[in-house]
Amino acid sequence: MIGAVVVSLRPRQWVKNLFVFAGVVFGQKLLTPALFSAFGAFLIFCGLSGAVYLLNDVADREQDRLHPEKRNRPVAAGWLPAGVAVIAAVVLIVAGLGASVLISGPFALAALAYVMLLSAYSAWLKHLVIVDVLVVAIGFVLRAVAGALAVQVAISSWLLICTILLALFLALGKRRHEVISLDSAAVHHRAILAEYSAALLDQMIAVVTASTVTAYALYTMSPETVAKFHTALLPATLPFVLYGVFRYLYLLYQRQLGGNPSDAVLHDRALLLNTLLWMAAVLLIIYGTHPQ
C-alpha cells in the first residue's frame, strides 16, 4: 500500500518543482543561507504536487483505465483504493501547508493558491478548452513565485513571462501527443481532447515557441538584466535554449514523444546534457563573472 502511494506521487515529475529554485538563482542568493529556504520550498512543493496527483488519479480513474499507459497507475489498476489515496492527499496537503508557514506567510499563501488552483483543475478546469493548458502553465508560475517569496527576492516580470511561455510550450506539446497517439480513443480518455486537433495545436505551439525564444533573448539582453548581474554575457546562453526547444520539437514531431515532458528531459541524453550545460553556463555567468 505504501509503495502504491509512493508511485502515485510520481517522483519523476518532481523535476518540475525545480522552478522553485529560479528565485534563489536569479535573485543572486544561491551562495547564501537562503538556499536552505529554497530547498525547503522545493520539498514542500514535491509533497503538494504529489497530493494533487493523487486527487487527479482518483478523479480520472475511470478514464485512465482506457489509456494504454495510465491504466497501470495504482488507483486506476485497483492497487490503491480511492479512499486511501484521498486520505494520503489530505495528509500531504495539511502537512505541506503547515510547513510552508514556517518559511514565510507570503510563501504559504502561494502554496495555498497552488493547491487550490490545481485542485480546481482536477475537478473542473481541465474540462475547459484552452483554459486547461493555461492553468497548467500558471501552476509552473506559482512554483516560481513561491520560490521567490521563500527567499524574499523581488519577483521579476521576466521570470513570470519566460516561465509561463515555457510551461505553455510543454503543455501544448503534451496535448498534441495525446491527440496523435490516442487518435479516435482520445475523446474516451479525456473529453476535452475532442476540442483540439493536431492542426490547431501545431499553430498554438508555433506561436508559443517563437514567443518563448524571443522572451528569453530579450531578457538576456535587457539593460535591467545587464545592470542586475553586472555582465552582458547572458546572451551566450541563448544557443542552449534554442537547441533545447528544437530538440523537444524533434522528439515531439519526429520521435512521437512528448507525452511526458519530464521523462523527455530525463531520458533523452542530448536534451538532458543540454539542460545541464545551460544551467552550468547561467551559474558561471551570474556567479563566476561577478562573484556575490
Q: What is the pLDDT of residues 146-180, one digit of tens each?
A: 999 999 998 888 888 999 999 999 999 988 888 88
Same domain flag for 12 and 86: yes
Give the confidence band of 259 by pLDDT, cuts at 50, 70, 90.
low
Asked if residue 267 lies in contact with residue 250, where contact means CB atoms within 8 angstroms, the answer is: no
Determine the distance from the C-alpha atom of residue 88 to the mean position of all C-alpha atoms in its chain, rounded to a whole number.
22
Same domain flag for 139 and 187: no
Q: What is the domain range of residue 169?
A: 156-292
* CA 93 – CA 106 distance, rounded (Å): 17
Least confident of 201-205, 222-226, 261-265: 261-265
Same domain flag for 60 and 143: yes
Same domain flag for 174 and 149: no
Nearest to 169 by CA among 241, 238, 240, 63: 241
Nearest to 100 by CA among 136, 145, 164, 61: 145
The whole-number pLDDT of residue 264 equals 76
Show which of 126, 155, 184 is a domain's final residue. Answer: 155
Give the confidence band of 20 by pLDDT, cuts at 50, 70, 90.
very high
Q: Catalogue the E-assigned strands of the chain.
A: none
**Longest CA span, the chain:** 56
Q: Is the dihedral of CA 39, 142, 225, 212 positive or negative?
A: positive
Show which of 155, 179, 196 is a domain's final residue. Answer: 155
CB neighbour list of residue 79: distance below 8 Å, 6 or more residues apart: 4
Q: Which DSSP string corresponds to 92-123?
A: HHHHHHHHHHHH-HHHHHHHHHHHHHHHHHHH
Same domain flag for 49 and 161: no
- Distance between terminal CA atoms of the chain? 48
Mean pLDDT of 52-56: 90
Number of domains in the chain: 2
Q: Which 8-state DSSP code applies to residue 139?
A: H
Same domain flag for 142 and 187: no
Show which of 108, 130, 155 is a domain's final residue. Answer: 155
Same domain flag for 200 and 261: yes
Same domain flag for 262 and 274: yes
Mean pLDDT over the full length of the chain: 88
Residue 107 sits in a domain whose CATH number is: 1.10.357.140
